[in-house]
Structure 1
Amino acid sequence: MAFLQNEKEKWEYILLVNSFGLLLSSEIKCDINAIIFVMCLPKPTWQVSGIRDYDKLKKNSVVRGASMNKVFIIDGENFSNFKGFCKEFSNVVLSGKYEWNEGLDAFNDILCGGFGDIEFGEEYTIIWKNSAKSKRDLGYGETIIKLNEILKNCHPTNKESVIQEIRDAKMNKGPTIFDWIEEIILDNENVTLIIE
């Protein structure tokens, strides 16, 4: 694959072609023969579950996933809090046909399909652009707000554990809303997540 300038481009190019069936990056320069060559390779199934950099890509290159599936792009520039993320997700992934009400159990159910333009069990890809901004926006401050909402409605036997989660979040310890969302998406085998 000498037609690409370096090893990183080779991996990116194969990943993009096999994940989406088309070239998505204008940064990778090649001619039509290169595209035909790669398209004629056996179609491995690729997924980029939360891969944030090239080193992880090379280490975890071939994993479960789907080729030729629907692609939805969530852009961290379009929201700055959890409510905004829910609206962005509803507009993009659910095609504005349904509104996700911020429940994390419901989020998991929605990811399985049967809502918007996604059939139940259909494989699709979510690309999360500007995720570094989202990680900050959906960090401990938003997590504390969400945990306080959960505390108001949780079963009495769960109150102490939610209170402990709030204490931890106030000390910047434990998972954040961003982490919860990422984990829920990655737990769904029909969804491929690309973090950019």
Structure 2
Amino acid sequence: MTIQVTIDGEHIHDIESFYEEINRVFMAEEDWKLGASLDAFDDLLYGGYGIAKEAKKVELIWKNAEKSRLGLGYAVTKAYYEQKLQPGSSYNKALFQEKLQDLEGGQGQTYFDLLVTIIAEHTNVTLVLA
């Protein structure tokens, strides 16, 4: 079974609002919500829960994707990496320092790019940027 899922970039202006939109669309019938985590988003696309639970294939239509690209762009991504580098953080600081340097050097991925990369790694998901 293939399902078609539409998220709307008009609702996405930062990382928190991306996950709010994902929860609104994918998790409406669940009694819990997905956390703001790239790993959690990746897990969601495997189809173990949410509306994709029974689907063999998912067509993910991302309306107003350009607005999301801007909202999840350089500034938001830089702040995301800097948060991971805060004193006391349990994250791999060397990794996030490298990612931050790549971003600042114009070679790194934005948060939007990271999401698109995660989606592309799922052969069961077709992404349509509209």
- Normalising by structure 2, what TM-score? 0.86
1:142: which partner in 2? Answer: 76
CA RMSD of aligned residues (A): 1.8
- CA change 1:106–1:173 in 2 (3 A) is same
Runs of 5+ in structure 2 lacking a partner? Answer: none
| Residue number among 64, 69, 79 corresponding to 2:12 in the alignment | 79
CA shift for structure 1 position 133: 0.9
- CA change 1:134–1:96 in 2 (3 A) is farther
In 1, Cα distance between equivalents of 2:60 and 2:28: 13
Q: Deviations over 1:66-94 (max 9, x none)?
A: xx621111111012111100110111122
Matched length = 126
2:21: which partner in 1? Answer: 88
In 2, Cα distance between equivalents of 1:135 and 1:142: 11
Structure number with greater Rg is 1
In 1, Cα distance between equivalents of 2:55 and 2:8: 24
One-letter identity of the residue aligned with 2:48: G
- Normalising by structure 1, what TM-score? 0.59
1:57: which partner in 2? Answer: none
In 2, Cα distance between equivalents of 1:96 and 1:171: 42
Structure ranking higher in strand proportion: 2
CA shift for structure 1 position 150: 2.8
Say if 1:112 and 1:120, in contact at 8 Å, map to a contact too: no
- CA change 1:71–1:147 in 2 (3 A) is same
In 1, Cα distance between equivalents of 2:54 and 2:100: 35
One-letter identity of the residue aligned with 2:72: L
| Corresponding position: 1:185 with 2:119 | yes
Q: Deviations over 1:139-178 (max 9, x none)?
A: 1111112212333231xxx322311222332344311100
Q: Deviations over 1:97-124 (max 9, x none)?
A: 2422111112111110121122266211
- CA change 1:139–1:175 in 2 (3 A) is same
Q: RCO higher in 1 or 2 (8 Å CA, sep ≥ 6)? A: 2
**What stretches of structure 1 move > 4 A for 4+ residues in a row?**
none
Secondary structure (helix, strand or coil) at the match of 1:102 reads coil
Say if 2:60 and 2:127, in contact at 8 Å, map to a contact too: yes
Identity %: 33
Runs of 5+ in structure 1 lacking a partner? Answer: 1-67
Secondary structure (helix, strand or coil) at the match of 2:123 reads coil
